[in-house]
Amino acid sequence: MQDEAIRWGPATLADVARRADVSKSTVSRALSNDPTLNIRDETRLRIKAAAHELGYMPNSNARSLRLARSWCVAFVVPELQNPVFGQTIDGAHRAAADRGYSMLIAPVEASPAHDELARNIVLGSRVDGILLNTLEYPKFLADTSALQARMVLVNRQTGADGEHCVLLDNEAGARLAVQELAKLGHRRIAYMPTSSVSWVSQRRREGYHLGMKAVGLEGEERIMPECEADLAAAEACAAEILASPNRPTAIVAWNILLAVGVTRAARRLGIAVPEDLSVISLNDSSAAQMMTPQVSAVRLPLFQLGWQAACLLIDLIEGKPVAPEPVVLTPECVILRETTGPAPS
């Protein structure tokens, strides 16, 4: 192969242009998805194939200097251990990569060390925009807004003018869970909330009430005491309710962790799941299938949540027109596994 000379160092724009038989400017515009570039689809595909074959990586430093952008976005989450955030981060990362952006992941917590987090991210890291997956830290939100950073709220909403957000329909998810349990004949359906006062928690609680009303059980709602998102706390809380007279025959749990706490408490009290008690989590993840018994759950489009949020943020960064209304994603379905069954007779 005479034309495939050994190369020392990375491929350049000129190498891709030569391989694709086009100009360097055409390669640059095609690889940056310039909407004003008027070329045939086969030419665009040929350029991308050439770049892939040569292992070409755009010079982000040169591009940043030319366009006064960093080609990097930040995803701010309250924690990294929660698998829910993992699925959302994955969707955002893939969408950003497809648009030529890298992504910084920043967990935020209430501590003096994080007081300057917003400034450090926006100014120190020179990100072009922020995906914000928590509203529990008002100072961070206020600081980010004051810095006039481009921002998209992820499954959060404040109602402020000019706000951009991508949301899960959390109310619909809770309604679905209640309706599925009602179909199985359950009437004593309780809701187990977390102690968090987040926007998501409020929406899910409202969805539970709406679900009970929709199946003709208005006035029979039962909200269990709030508990920390902790397995031991969930088990203790559930044990207290399950040991009481006229206990519920079904529980809608705020997430998988709380649902597992319920099943553990039931096992300790000799209450069979699902024969005597059904449990549905309002989040699904691979962890639900690893539990014994496997946890029934409402499947939410978490990957799509991250994907849509990143796409919206990048559209804002690139000055593309975006709709002012929030993007709302509906639950995918309810996955009935080993923690749900017909109501006991």
Provide the residue-wise pLDDT of the chain in tens; the chain has 345 residues. Answer: 334 444 445 678 888 999 999 998 898 888 877 778 888 889 999 999 998 888 777 655 444 434 457 788 989 887 777 777 889 999 999 999 999 899 988 877 655 555 566 666 665 557 888 899 876 667 777 777 776 778 999 998 888 888 999 999 999 999 999 999 999 999 999 999 998 778 888 999 999 999 999 999 999 999 999 988 889 999 999 999 999 989 999 999 999 999 999 999 999 999 999 999 999 999 888 888 888 899 999 999 999 999 999 999 999 998 999 998 999 999 999 999 999 999 998
pLDDT for position 2: 39
Say if 13-58 and 170-299 have the same CATH topology.
Answer: no
Q: CA separation (Å) from 227 to 76, 232, 269, 326?
A: 25, 10, 19, 30
225, 246, 297 from 80: Cα distances, Å: 26, 39, 21
CA 301 – CA 313 distance, rounded (Å): 18
Strand order in the sheet with 72-77: 102-107, 72-77, 129-132, 151-154, 165-168, 327-329
CA distances to 111, 158, 313 from 148, in Å: 23, 16, 14
pLDDT of residue 54: 83
Delimit the domains of the chain by residue range. 13-58, 70-169+302-329, 170-299
- What is the layout of strands, in order, in the sheet containing 278-281? 222-223, 189-192, 250-253, 278-281, 296-299, 333-335
Beta strands in 51-210 (DSSP E): 72-77, 102-107, 129-132, 151-154, 165-168, 189-192
Phi, psi at residue 299, to the nearest 5°? -90, 120
In sequence order, the 6+-apart residues with CB closer than 8 A to the CB of 256 are 281, 283, 284, 285, 287, 288, 291, 295, 297
Q: What fold, for 170-299?
A: Rossmann fold (3.40.50)
| pLDDT at residue 7, rounded to an integer | 46
Question: Distances from the Cα of 74 to the Cαs of 42, 121, 313, in angstroms?
Answer: 34, 7, 10
pLDDT (0 to 100) of residue 199: 84
Buried b (16+ CB within 10 A) or exposed e, 248-272: bbbbbbbbbbbbbbbbbbbeeeebe
CATH class of 70-169+302-329: alpha beta
- Name the CATH architecture for the domain at 13-58: Orthogonal Bundle (1.10)
CA distance 11 to 30: 17
Q: What is the C-alpha separation between 16 and 18, in angstroms, rounded?
A: 5
> Given this model, what pLDDT does residue 140 score?
72
Quick one: residue 222, left, alpha or beta (phi over 0 = left, psi -120 to 50 = alpha)? beta
